Structure 1
Amino acid sequence: MLDILKEGLRNQLGAAIDMLENAIRRCPGEHWETNQFWYHAFHCLFFLDYYLAEDPPSFTPPLPFDESEFEDRMPDRIYTQEELLDYLDKSRRHCYAQISGLTNEGLTARWINSSGSMNYSRHEILLYNLRHTQHHAAQLNLLLRQTINDAPEWVFRAGEHF
């Protein structure tokens, strides 16, 4: 049973990450700042990483990213497409390692944020993360359709990265 759960998580969370990557890559440089495309991508990546944290209260994003998402403010600068794709790659590898290493006990371990308002099993936070990532990948695809009348295709399962 554990193996089928891990396979499904890997395939579907991986597909959501692939869709996010495809949207980021599809955005032309001249539209990176249009409708704050870059910010929506950053927000999604920040929380993708955060929801994978082993100890949520001590989470800090890697440099050059800041904790603006926890402070309900915009980052101090616009992050580049390359920076966000690097962040995505790191988060994808972290996600793969976490799912691959899951045990029955690990699935039921608690993921609790600082305030205690989010208290999930590891299994549920992975599903929550999938939903959040897919939600924002869809927003980015909508922005691409509205801006350049083009968007990446649907990804059914994780690709070669996962």
Structure 2
Amino acid sequence: MENTLIFEVLESQYKAALTMLRNALEKVPAEHWNSKEYNKPTWQLAFHTLYGTKMYLSPSPETFVLWENAIRGAESLSGVNEWEHPEEGVIVEGTHTPSELIAFIDDIVANLHQNISALPIQEPSGFEWYPVTRLELHLTNIRHIQHHTAQIIERLKAKNIHGFAWLIDGNAAVEW
């Protein structure tokens, strides 16, 4: 399979996953955005997802450029991942708004093509804690987006909010 086709498919699947996340975030009622009902509020779950997405689209942790509006420490949900070790005593101060996180999604999408095609997919991931190829890291990154998007959707469904589309390729959708 030609790398160009692989890059096109990866970009399409990233866009589909990020659009599904965006669509879910747009349905979160204001009273549930920063709710203490769950271990971490919905906004922080979404921010964690986007932070990880942007980081793993970078060549390495050393070259990762933090999103300019990031709230310090909000990327950590549990501190169990290599990149989720906040400095001791970091207290998350503030809340990202829906429009801020949607702007973060737009920023990631705007740079997808460049970030995906910049690195050879058969080379190592660039992250020592992921001893896989760059291609496998992309697939893992997309699965990470879908995992947390599904969590947000399940939270919304529990509040009787429905109407989520499964995007096949960024364009075609199936309602579920």
Q: Which has the higher contact order (CA 8 A, sep 6+)?
A: 1
Q: Which residue of 2 aligns with 1:65?
A: 70
Summarize the Cα distance change of 1:41–1:151 in structure 2 as closer, same or farther, 3 Å threshold: farther
Percent identical pairs in the alignment equals 26
**What SS is found at the alignment partner of 1:3?**
helix
CA distance in 2, matches of 1:139, 1:43: 13
Question: Normalising by the residue count of structure 2, what TM-score does the alignment of the two structures yield?
Answer: 0.77
Q: Does 1:30 align with 2:31?
A: yes
RMSD: 2.2
Q: Which residue of 2 aligns with 1:141?
A: 153
Letter of the structure 2 residue corresponding to residue 110 of structure 1: P
Relative to its length, the structure with more helix (as a share) is: 1
Q: Answer whether contact 2:34 2:42 (CA < 8 A) is retained.
A: yes
Summarize the Cα distance change of 1:110–1:130 in structure 2 as closer, same or farther, 3 Å threshold: same
Post-superposition CA distance 1:23-64 (Å, at most 9, x none): 111112222113411111111111011111123234242222
CA distance in 2, matches of 1:150, 1:74: 34
Post-superposition CA distance 1:84-104 (Å, at most 9, x none): 1111111112223223x35xx
| Structure 2 unaligned regions, length at least 5 | 77-83
**What SS is found at the alignment partner of 2:85?**
coil
Letter of the structure 1 residue corresponding to residue 140 of structure 2: Y
Q: Which residue of 1 aligns with 2:55?
A: 50
Count, aligned residues: 155
- Give structure 1 regions of 4+ aligned residues with deviation exceeding 6 angstroms: none
